């Protein structure tokens, strides 16, 4: 189904050809989902047709071994509870200046006046904000300026997670900021980036060392009063990443942050702020995991992206928070606000995400196209299993002239899970010749999964052209039977169909995320993408 929503336009002509970030993106990646079993493996029946068989194939058996473990860290945690004293204590522990404390207190006042939203498709019990710890950090304070002085135990911890930070094993072309609970543990390649004028550090350091930059941009894209969880984050955020790319600079390497929750009953409230000044560019990679606790934990982050004239930011996420067990017990509540502002003319922001974790996901990475000739892109795969719930999507706000946006969303629902796409395309009155193309596809596996699509389209300029296409499909017994007649078992058949379904989004992921996606799809599908 395809629909055209604009005044006085009755034909569909090709939209703007979006130029890829790197030249190699013109080449289609051959992404396949490989099964972990051979064709001749006897324990996989090719005649079972029940939902139980599908759930068995998609069971996430290896998460506990690879990511679900806990690490005994001697940590300091503040008492549970949320109050003005909590906000002041966090600011004191982080040795913040007065202006930062005032920012937090103002946000907390706004939070108290707000009500928790309840309009999403997600269903969950009320969150007791007084039963959470808002700050937990290793007692051995990390020295962020020197990896040699970092706690060896913490380095081994991240090495076990597949995020090497030491000099010998760290990634050569990716700068990593590792965040554990409420603090940044280490940041790699800082000196290399400084030679190009690029600032990459924890946001705690940025508040102290680059206060003018932080004051200029913090809350500019996502103000503290934006929404309930943005206000909470603005009051209690602990750490996160800060990156500033100066004018006329291409970041010499990709930057990345790896978020890890370790402490039980501790929420994580990181803040990420990326500023690309005029005619600069950067690629940012984000990953995350958490232990397999029986209790739910809250992750409420805020990400702000700012693009100057002719600048470009490509932001990629592979989200693998603990999703809970097969009965829906435990898992992370992932309530995140992500937004980018294309402030300068001819700037571009791209969001690419693969969402496989979290018991509940509630996020809408968005782009405000303020400058003329700006571009916003959103590519997403959301895979839910068991009793996971995901209410995710994007917002594209067209303000400037000749702005363009593209949305490609793929949702896969398995077991008893629910997957919802919710998107807003808004063309404001002065956004002449705005263009948008949206493609929202859902796939159902089994008879108990659910998928919903809620597109909101608001057009206030008659010269705009907005295209929306949506589809829902189901892996049926006839399709699986077709594969089985050719000697291909259940797992390989579903893997092949899911691989083709997600190809458009996987092609947008950075090459450096290839192994990460391999792992995640392997965990979810007992196969891999490669």
Q: Mapping DSSP to helix (H, G, I), strand (E, B) and coil, where does residue 212 land?
A: helix
What is d(CA 505, CA 444) in angstroms, rounded to the nearest whole number?
18
Kindly tell me if the per-residue pLDDT of 476 is higher than 70.
yes
With 0-12 / 13-18 / 19 or more C-beta atoms within 10 angstroms meaning exposed / middle / buried, residue 452 is middle
Q: What is the pLDDT of residue 37?
A: 29
How far apart (Å, rounded) are the C-alpha atoms in residues 500 and 58? 17
Predicted structure pTM score? 0.83
CA distances in angstroms from 518 to 236, 274, 512, 522, 527, listed in the order given: 35, 27, 11, 6, 8
102-151 per-position pLDDT tens digit? 999 999 999 999 999 989 999 999 999 999 999 998 876 555 455 555 55
Residue 93 has pLDDT above 60, yes or no: yes
How many Cα atoms are found within 13 Å in the side-chain-facing hemisphere of 85? 5
Q: What are phi and psi of 177, to 5 degrees?
A: -110, 115
Residue where the block lists tokens 């589809």: 471
The whole-number pLDDT of residue 425 equals 98
Cα 448 to Cα 264, 293, 508: the distances in Å are: 32, 26, 31
Question: Which residues contact residue 121 at a Cβ distance below 8 angstroms, ignoring those fewer than 6 apart?
Answer: 389, 391, 418, 420, 452
**Count of residues in the chain:** 530
Q: What angle do CA 254, 198, 300 make, to 5 degrees?
A: 65
Is residue 446 very low, low, confident or very high in pLDDT (cuts 50, 70, 90)? confident
Q: Which of 3-7, 39-43, 501-505, 519-523 has the highest mean pLDDT?
A: 501-505
CB-CB neighbours of 357 under 10 Å: 29
In terms of DSSP bridges, do strands 465-475 and 2-4 run parallel, antiparallel, or are they unpaired? antiparallel
pLDDT of residue 53: 44
Q: What is the pLDDT of residues 35-87, one digit of tens each?
A: 332 323 333 333 333 445 444 444 555 666 666 556 666 678 899 999 999 99
How many whole angstroms separate alpha carbon 225 and alpha carbon 424?
20
pLDDT digits (tens, 9 = 90+) for 14-30: 333 333 333 344 443 33
Contact yes or no for 227/128 (Cβ under 8 A): no
Q: Which of 3-17, 220-234, 291-305 has the lowest mean pLDDT?
A: 3-17
pLDDT band for 249, please (50, 70, 90 cuts): very high
Mean pLDDT calculated for residue range 322-347: 93
For the residues 249-274, what does the mean pLDDT come to? Answer: 89
Residue from 269, 210, 215 nearest 102 by CA: 215
Q: For the chain, what is the mean pLDDT?
A: 81
Spatial separation of the C-alpha atoms in residues 364 and 422, rounded to whole Å: 8
- C-alpha to C-alpha distance for 86 and 62, rounded to whole angstroms: 37
More confident residue, 71 or 178: 178
pLDDT at 154 over 60: no
Q: Which two tokens stand for residue 266?
A: 């501790």
Is residue 442 within 8 A of residue 474, CB to CB? The reply is: no
pLDDT tens digit sequence for 278-320: 999 999 998 887 878 888 999 999 999 999 999 999 999 988 8
For the four alpha carbons of 530, 189, 207 and 276, in that order, the dihedral sign comes to: negative
**CB count, 10 Å around CB of 118?**
7
Provide the percentage of residues in the chain whose pLDDT is more than 70: 76
The strand ranges marked E within 428-491 are 435-445, 450-459, 465-475
pLDDT in tens, 350-402: 999 988 889 999 999 999 999 999 999 999 999 898 999 999 999 999 999 99
Beta-bridged to residue 393, according to DSSP, are 422
CA distance 470 to 140: 52
Could you give the dihedral angle defined by the CA atoms of residues 203, 207, 211 and 214, in that order, rounded to the nearest 10 degrees?
A: 40
Task: Please tell me the predicted confidence (pLDDT) of residue 445.
Answer: 85
Q: Is the pLDDT of residue 507 over 60?
A: yes
Domain boundaries along the sequence of the chain = 27-35+45-529
- C-alpha to C-alpha distance for 376 and 306, rounded to whole angstroms: 12
pLDDT at 483 over 60: yes
Record the tokens describing residue 43, joined without a space.
């324990």
CA distance 277 to 185: 27
Separation of alpha carbons 55 and 118, rounded Å: 30
264 burial level (CB within 10 Å; 0-12, 13-18, 19+): middle
Of 248 and 174, more confident:
248
């Amino acid at each position: 189904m395809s629909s055209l929503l604009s005044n006085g336009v009755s034909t569909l002509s090709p939209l703007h050809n979006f130029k890829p970030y790197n030249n190699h993106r013109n080449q289609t990646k051959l992404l396949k989902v490989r099964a972990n079993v051979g064709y001749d493996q006897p324990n996989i029946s090719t005649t079972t047709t029940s939902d139980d068989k599908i759930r068995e194939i998609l069971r996430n058996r290896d998460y506990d071994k690879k990511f679900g473990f806990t690490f005994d860290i001697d940590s300091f945690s503040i008492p549970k509870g949320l109050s003005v004293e909590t906000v002041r204590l966090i600011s004191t522990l982080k040795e913040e200046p007065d202006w930062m404390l005032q920012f937090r207190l103002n946000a907390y006042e706004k939070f108290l006046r707000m009500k928790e939203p309840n309009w999403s498709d997600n269903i969950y019990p009320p969150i007791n904000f007084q039963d959470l710890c808002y700050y937990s950090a290793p007692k051995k304070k990390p020295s962020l300026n020197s990896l040699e002085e970092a706690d060896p135990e913490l380095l081994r911890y991240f090495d076990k997670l597949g995020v090497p930070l030491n000099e010998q094993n760290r990634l050569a072309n990716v700068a990593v900021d590792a965040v554990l609970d409420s603090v940044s543990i280490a940041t790699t390649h800082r000196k290399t980036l400084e030679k190009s004028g690029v600032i990459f550090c924890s946001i705690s350091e940025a508040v102290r060392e680059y206060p003018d930059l932080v004051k200029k941009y913090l809350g500019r894209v996502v103000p503290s009063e934006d929404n309930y969880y943005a206000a909470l984050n603005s009051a209690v955020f602990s750490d996160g990443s800060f990156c500033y790319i100066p004018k006329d600079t291409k970041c010499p390497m990709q930057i990345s942050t790896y978020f890890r929750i370790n402490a039980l009953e501790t929420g994580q409230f990181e803040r990420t702020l990326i500023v690309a000044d005029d005619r600069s560019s950067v690629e940012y990679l984000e990953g995350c995991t958490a232990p397999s606790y029986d209790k739910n934990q809250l992750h409420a982050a805020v990400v702000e992206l700012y693009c100057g004239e002719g600048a470009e930011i490509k932001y990629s996420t592979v989200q693998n928070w603990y999703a809970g067990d097969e009965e829906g017990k435990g898992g992370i509540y992932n309530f995140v606000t992500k937004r980018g502002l294309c402030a300068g003319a001819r700037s571009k922001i791209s969001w690419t995400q693969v969402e496989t974790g979290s018991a509940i996901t509630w996020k809408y990475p968005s782009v405000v196209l303020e400058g003329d000739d700006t571009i916003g892109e959103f590519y997403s795969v959301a895979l839910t299993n068991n009793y996971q719930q995901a209410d995710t999507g994007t917002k594209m706000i067209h303000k400037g002239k000749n702005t363009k946006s593209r949305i490609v969303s793929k949702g896969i629902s398995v077991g008893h899970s629910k997957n919802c796409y919710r998107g807003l395309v808004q063309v404001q009155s002065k956004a002449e010749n705005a263009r948008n193309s949206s493609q929202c596809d859902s796939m159902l596996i089994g008879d108990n999964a659910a998928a919903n699509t809620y597109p909101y389209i608001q057009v206030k300029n008659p010269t705009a052209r907005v295209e929306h296409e949506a589809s829902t499909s189901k892996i049926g017994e006839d399709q699986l039977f077709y594969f089985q007649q050719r000697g291909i078992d259940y797992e390989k058949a579903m893997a092949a169909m899911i691989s083709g379904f997600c190809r458009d989004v996987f092609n947008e992921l950075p090459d450096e995320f290839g192994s990460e996606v391999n792992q995640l799809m392997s965990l979810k599908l007992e196969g891999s993408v490669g």
